[in-house]
Amino acid sequence: MISQMEGSQAVAQSVALCRPDVICAYPISPQTHIVEGLGALVQGGTLDPCEFLNVESEFAAMSVAIGASAAGARTYTATASQGLLFMAEAVYNAAGLGLPIVMTVANRAIGAPINIWNDHSDSMSQRDCGWLQLFAESNQEAVDLHIQAFRLAEELSMPVMVCMDGFILTHAYERLDVPSQDQVDAFLPPYEPRQVLDPADPVSIGAMVGPEAFMEVRYLAHAKQTMALNLIPQIAAEFEAIFGRSAGGLVRGYRIEDAETIVVALGSVVGTLEETSDTLREQGANVGVLSIRSYRPFPLAAVREALQNAKRVVVLEKSFSVGMGGVVAADVRMALSGLHLHGYTVVAGLGGRPITQASLLRML
């Protein structure tokens, strides 16, 4: 159904259509409207049965999510910025236990100094924790990616973050197509957990593992992430067949076939980059854009294939590794190893500083 709505409320409706059994909620800007919207749906009986738990912290939210998922519930939560850091220990535990939790990260800068505006420093800080990370370019894609995320998490038995730019997307009102319950039910089957804690048959989870096995456990987590490189495009193709629009996948190219310069980016800035590409082509410069939709697992082969015929590659990112530089750029350089391309890293938009088309034109 086509509606004009705020991105956060659209995500709340999308998550509700996935029929979660447990939602753990602790508010932190800019994700608060998502859990508020879900709370209203539970309270009003639209989302039933579902247990909505108000917890005392982000660490508690992820801890409850771990317990609920381990007990066999389809589980969802959301966070941002310092909230993601506060739950970091539990975030690693959820991945290590192979629990298919879905979490929205409404991307926001990490202090100090305190800053509530958008960049990607929060999710980038957890890039090695074992969660899959999918980045939305628009609110429509955020709606669609959450539906795919539950399917992906449950087929792999791994947790998934859906990352959407705080305020730029979460608080923007747009014309969106929110799927019907029948469409989502056709795409997302009822949850059948691989492991369930049963009081009648008690077992321990998360027990200590010694040096003789810990490396193998970490390798198995990595192997499941590499499996996702095949599964993510398959699920995206099935989604398109049912819903009639493309969303998700590993990467998406815009006018890259004949591009001499390709700009690589994640999230909402991709739309501005595409408009900038159109403007530059009118001026005779062949510029294309590559959007990375799956940041973890990182699609090395897909990125290499998309960029190999360019003369120069510019990685535009909203994250910064103090003492090193660009974060995403390091992964792109690995994908391009051995190719003789001119590579550039541009860090922009930290702490919510606007990335305008005029600034992109000057940079390019």
pLDDT value for 197: 87
Going by their DSSP bridges, the two strands 294-296 and 287-292 should be labelled as unpaired
CA distance 296 to 183: 27
What's the pLDDT score for residue 35?
98
Can you give the pLDDT of all 364 residues of the chain as single tens digits? 899 999 999 999 999 999 999 999 999 999 999 999 999 999 999 999 999 999 999 999 999 999 999 999 999 999 999 999 999 999 999 999 999 999 999 999 999 999 999 999 999 999 999 999 999 999 999 999 999 999 999 999 999 999 999 999 999 999 999 999 999 999 999 999 888 888 899 888 888 899 999 999 999 999 999 999 999 999 999 999 999 999 999 999 999 999 999 999 999 999 999 999 999 999 999 999 999 999 999 999 999 999 999 999 999 999 999 999 999 999 999 999 999 899 999 999 999 999 999 999 999 9
Q: Distance (Å, rounded) from C-alpha 17 to C-alpha 147?
A: 8
pLDDT (0 to 100) of residue 358: 97
Handedness of CA 231, 225, 157, 122 (dihedral sign): negative
Which phi and psi angles does 52 have, rounded to 5°?
-105, 115
Q: What is the pLDDT of residue 260?
A: 97
Cβ-based neighbour number of residue 310 at 10 Å: 24
Helices (H), 283-356: 300-307, 328-335
The β-bridge partners of 4 are 175
For residue 103, list its beta bridge partners: 77, 161
Using CA of residue 161, residue 166, residue 168, residue 171, what is the dihedral sign?
positive
Measuring CA to CA, which residue among 267, 334, 291, 271 is closest to residue 124? 267
Q: Would you state the pLDDT for residue 247? A: 95
CA–CA distance, 85 with 112 (Å, rounded to integer): 13
Closest CA to 135 of 110, 177, 169, 167: 169
pTM of the model: 0.97
Report CA torsion sign: 332, 338, 341, 345: positive
Own/partner contacts of 39-44, CB < 8 Å, gap of 24 or more, are 41/12, 41/13, 41/16
Peptide bond into 112 cis (omega under 30): yes
